[in-house]
Structure 1
């Protein structure tokens, strides 16, 4: 495998010494992080290699081989102010790197909640410090969201909050193609503060956009609470523990803007204004399920699209199954696909009820395989117009309140979506997609598909906090017999 590294603003070939350092640091951080954790598979084979059949017995293709048996390249993208888009996907953004089908890319991702405790999640980390830098004169990354640059709350208006590393341009990708993304590995980003050596940290914000907000028992009935979690970055412990929590207090950012609520990403929290409660969730162990909450390609409908509501090209799906060993398939909507990833999570439950997961910076290694439109007819990927997830054991389809809210809601869609979502609509969309999946890939008639959905498909609430709410449909591969041709 030929290896290259992408550094901020440019790309350089990796020397033998650099390669050793990069891989050594990555694997030292990873170690056995996922050794005993709940992971979403580990099989190397993928749906795209199966031709017409979608049978378990056909799972034999290797994820290590490049299509056509050509040489592969490996790129490394560090997270920095020059390599991220904060809060949006864009079809016209300058790519961080351009790759060929079959290539690997190791990508650093930062949680946008790092400033909830900068001592633990930013201090001493050059990449994080460049992204979160903010003094009275400038921000390291000024635009945060797809909104107006002159928004009073801050440039970008917070209309999109996730730090998305990328975009990655896949050479030859065109609208109508399918991009297969294999998640080869996931590692925690250790704290760079010597006081917290060997540890990673994540933040959970029970925030104003959470499903629970305004439906609380104790006073104040509307409050936002941040809980800090600790993760063992050495791999010796496969669970997270709460360190402390605090109630959000009005924060004044370095530009002098007061934030009474968590209303803009990356606000530096002045810890002298909060009261830490350190005896919380005592003896509770939260199983680690590291995954990427936001992952996908750029949509075609607008030049700049908020990172918050998910859509047909992926985005903020917030499904904890999108971790190591998983494969995703995205319909390509623009030239080069323009892949980005962010919103890393150490763990999350279905629904992400309070508004966030354990928001924890991670590094992932991905392999990209392009399936051209002309090759799709007669294969399971034909007619795929939504993000499809494959794990070792399951196929997972994602339904949303609006399958493509940008097209369905028209002008103002990025603002109006938040008042229109419902679980009912998302369930209906998941039903439609699963029916189509079963009828086309398994050759069932409609009556067979509907019966099977009721007795063998698990429909679950993916999230109810991202504007375009999600319901996922999970079906086991093992229920299907081997099929020929």
Structure 2
């Protein structure tokens, strides 16, 4: 099982099945990839909120690749084992105008640079989120010709932001074109389910993957086998949003969590929104008792020194 390496310079910023492969591998080969942080170098440890306003979305979420897998054809499944992730020592979280679940309520840019250690992402002094590295964008090329934005997820994967895509997890992807054309990017040090403010702790990294081709295994969408390290534990606060629309219920729950964090810690609403994005987990708690549905958001108490 040979091992290969790709640098973050071998990247692209759109899905396009005509992009020349950066690498050719076979089933069971291992690939080590350098991954750029989600701004593609537009933000640094010295950036300010003014830099957030100037972000060029055509360069957002660059992905390393594509990797051509010999023998892969439409109707096959590409199975990707996430073997390891090594994170940079800093990451960023931002409120980007026009982006996020509450974009209409948080219209000004905001930015926090986190210090990344072997155990935590520290957004602010004393505000430490347990380190849980995962891959935010991982997918194979789509069948449709031409350039397609990397921002929305698709049937072939992409920017799914599933925080369970940690080392030890396995991802199944439906192959849509010859060679599959696997690409990876947007690695995070921590994120809550929902990524409500639109960003996680966005961090450059180096990831090691193993690819395995399963012939004649048609899938209609990605499937994940999770690993226990991706699960949270401990005591948590859980707030609720109840409405006849799941989108609105999620917004209500997020507002309630922002208010709770601000009340308990004295953080600004902007910073509380970020905390909800990097550590709060949105869940559909009830969807059968029409006409109203319940969405809850859970936040582990251990995140703050002394608990909430």
Question: What TM-score, normalized by structure 1, do the two folds share?
Answer: 0.45
Note the C-alpha offset of 1:158.
Answer: 3.0
> Higher Cα Rg: structure 1 or 2?
1
Residue in 2 aligned with 1:265? none
Runs of 4+ in 1 over 6 A off after TM superposition: none
Q: State how far apart, in whole Å, the 1-side matches of 2:145 and 2:215 are.
A: 23
1:340 corresponds to which of 183, 196, 201: 183
SS in 1 for 2:42: helix
Deviations 1:404-432 (A, max 9, x none): xxxxxxxxxxxxxxxxxx857xx9xxxxx
1:241 aligns with 2:122: yes
Equivalent positions of 1:186-265 (< 5 A) are 186-189=85-88, 200-208=89-97, 209-216=99-106, 222-232=107-117, 235=118, 238-242=119-123
SS in 2 for 1:115: coil
Unpaired stretches in structure 1, ≥5 consecutive residues: 1-71, 121-152, 190-199, 217-221, 243-280, 377-382, 395-421, 428-457, 462-470, 472-485
Q: State how far apart, in whole Å, the 2-side matches of 1:158 and 1:392 are.
A: 32
2:161 corresponds to which of 309, 314, 318: 318
Q: State how far apart, in whole Å, the 2-side matches of 1:331 and 1:423 are.
A: 28
Cα gap change, 1:361 to 1:459, in 2 (>3 Å): closer
Q: State how far apart, in whole Å, the 1-side matches of 2:6 and 2:64 are.
A: 8
Note the C-alpha offset of 1:212.
Answer: 1.9
Note the C-alpha offset of 1:215.
Answer: 1.9
Residue in 2 aligned with 1:117? 44
Equivalent positions of 1:4-403 (< 5 A) are 72-80=1-9, 83-86=10-13, 88-113=14-39, 114-117=41-44, 158-159=57-58, 161-189=60-88, 200-208=89-97, 209-216=99-106, 222-232=107-117, 235=118, 238-242=119-123, 281-373=124-216, 376=217, 383-392=218-227
SS in 2 for 1:179: strand
More strand by share: 2
The answer (yes or no) to whether the contact 2:194–2:282 under 8 Å persists in 1 is no
The answer (yes or no) to whether the contact 1:106–1:363 under 8 Å persists in 2 is yes
Cα gap change, 1:298 to 1:460, in 2 (>3 Å): farther
Note the C-alpha offset of 1:188.
Answer: 1.1
Note the C-alpha offset of 1:213.
Answer: 2.1
Note the C-alpha offset of 1:311.
Answer: 1.0
The answer (yes or no) to whether the contact 1:89–1:340 under 8 Å persists in 2 is no
Q: State how far apart, in whole Å, the 1-side matches of 2:283 and 2:161 are.
A: 12
Q: State how far apart, in whole Å, the 2-side matches of 1:358 and 1:158 are.
A: 18
Deviations 1:308-359 (A, max 9, x none): 1101100000111111001000000001000000011111111111110010
Cα gap change, 1:283 to 1:393, in 2 (>3 Å): closer
Note the C-alpha offset of 1:96.
Answer: 0.6
Note the C-alpha offset of 1:391.
Answer: 1.6
Tell me how many residue pairs correspond in the alignment. Answer: 232
Q: State how far apart, in whole Å, the 1-side matches of 2:58 and 2:246 are.
A: 22
Q: State how far apart, in whole Å, the 2-side matches of 1:423 and 1:180 are.
A: 32
Deviations 1:371-416 (A, max 9, x none): 111xx4xxxxxx421010002469xxxxxxxxxxxxxxxxxxxxxx
The answer (yes or no) to whether the contact 1:297–1:338 under 8 Å persists in 2 is yes
After superposition, the CA RMSD in angstroms is: 2.8
Q: State how far apart, in whole Å, the 1-side matches of 2:185 and 2:91 are.
A: 14
Q: State how far apart, in whole Å, the 1-side matches of 2:201 and 2:66 are.
A: 24
Note the C-alpha offset of 1:116.
Answer: 2.2
Q: State how far apart, in whole Å, the 1-side matches of 2:112 and 2:16 are.
A: 32
Residue in 2 aligned with 1:467? none
Note the C-alpha offset of 1:159.
Answer: 4.9
Q: State how far apart, in whole Å, the 2-side matches of 1:459 and 1:331 are.
A: 27
SS in 2 for 1:116: coil
The answer (yes or no) to whether the contact 1:76–1:105 under 8 Å persists in 2 is yes
More helix by share: 1
Q: State how far apart, in whole Å, the 1-side matches of 2:202 and 2:178 are.
A: 31
Q: State how far apart, in whole Å, the 1-side matches of 2:104 and 2:16 are.
A: 34
Note the C-alpha offset of 1:118.
Answer: 5.5
Note the C-alpha offset of 1:286.
Answer: 1.0
Cα gap change, 1:459 to 1:79, in 2 (>3 Å): closer
